[in-house]
Amino acid sequence: MEARMSKSTARRDDLFEEASLEQLKSEHQNLEHRLRMLSRPRSKSPEELAEMQRIKKKKLAIKDKMMSMQG
């Protein structure tokens, strides 16, 4: 019985990790889209420049998290 619970728990953890990974991928894509919109050639406000920096940092953090979940 304990082995079954262990397998069940592992399967549930895998499903949770997969869902989380999909959520991270989706968020990463959304950030990439916003960054592309901000990167269009035109002058940018200081707020837009700051937002671009925040997006880049968040994208890197998400990518690191995805890599640690996959490996």
CA distance 6 to 37: 46
C-alpha 32 chain-centroid distance = 10
Considering the entire predicted model, what is its pTM? Answer: 0.70
Contacts of 51 (CB under 8 A, 6+ apart): 34, 38
pLDDT per residue as tens digits for the range 11-51 = 666 666 777 888 999 999 999 999 999 999 889 999 999 99
- pLDDT above 70 (res 64): yes
